[in-house]
Homo-oligomer: A and B are copies of this chain.
Amino acid sequence: MLMRNIKLVLEYDGSKYHGWQFQANANSVQQELATAIKKLTGESVIPDGAGRTDAGVHALGQVASFKTESSIPAEKFAPALNSILPPGICVLRSEQADPDFHPRFSAKGKHYCYLVLNRAQRSPLWETRAWHVRDRLDFEAMEKAARYFMGTHNFRAFCASGHQNKTFTRTIAHSSWQFGNEVLRYDTIGDAFLYNMVRIMTGTMIDIGRGRFPPEVILEAFETGERNTLGMTAPPEGLYLVEVFY
């Protein structure tokens, strides 16, 4: 049989899984997807993913791929897998990709967004969907900080320990906040992101909004590369992998 490479675009509710990547003794998106593919095609595969989203992190457009010898038309994998996958995961679309397409290594960029619920009381409907921040925030300082991320910089200070990254220079093409009534949304598009980078960027901007640091702490961190000069790592529940560009 002809071996084909199938590309999937996935949405998932990160609060229901222990992240993208397979782990023994914990449910993962990768494992659920492998199980569904096995049920559908009879083939045992480990699908590759574009980004290793942590436990709690959501996806609106995660990209995965796997090789198959099945004769199912490429675009039919989406509805067929959705009838097998649990409610927390859905395939938005499926298509045939080049034989050498790899979701992570072929990616040219990624779009993440981060949602903050900024009000006094917690929210039943935003629980697991946004970071609840009670403090009054300086939106102007946060947006100034967001603009400092644009361009090519050394992001070593914005990388969690335990990473396997060897280079720290990354280029950010878009970085901006939208301030709604209670929900604040940060969007960023870059060529690639270090481990926990968006969460450290967001946590730092919230600390800037709280007045704990001036926005220029970001410029200093580009120079020093020191993680401990920055704010907290924002929690996973506010982070969404929106889109992967190829």
Cα separation A13 to B92 with both chains bound (whole Å):
25
Does A116 count as interface, using CB distance less than 8 angstroms? no
Interface centre among A78, A87, A89 (most CB of B within 10 A): A87
In the complex the two chains form, is B87's CB within 8 Å of A124's CB? Answer: yes
In the complex the two chains form, is A90's CB within 8 Å of B11's CB? Answer: no
Q: Report the copy number of this chain in the oligomer.
A: 2
Query: Across the two chains, which residue of chain B brings its CB closest to A119?
Result: B92
Does A121 count as interface, using CB distance less than 8 angstroms? yes
Does A58 count as interface, using CB distance less than 8 angstroms? yes
Cα separation A124 to B58 with both chains bound (whole Å):
10
SS class of chain A's interface: helix, strand, loop or mixed?
Answer: mixed
In the complex the two chains form, is A124's CB within 8 Å of B89's CB? Answer: yes
Interface centre among A60, A79, A120, A125 (most CB of B within 10 A): A125
Contacts of A91 in B (CB 8 A): 121
In the complex the two chains form, is A90's CB within 8 Å of B122's CB? Answer: yes
In the complex the two chains form, is A13's CB within 8 Å of B121's CB? Answer: no
Cα separation A11 to B93 with both chains bound (whole Å):
34
Cα separation A11 to B127 with both chains bound (whole Å):
12
Does A123 count as interface, using CB distance less than 8 angstroms? yes
Binding site for B on A (CB under 8 A): 11-13, 16, 58, 60, 78-79, 82, 87-93, 120-125, 127, 129
Complex A-B: 15 CB contacts under 8 Å: A11-B124, A12-B124, A13-B124, A13-B125, A16-B124, A58-B125, A60-B125, A79-B120, A79-B121, A82-B121, A87-B127, A88-B124, A91-B121, A93-B121, A125-B129
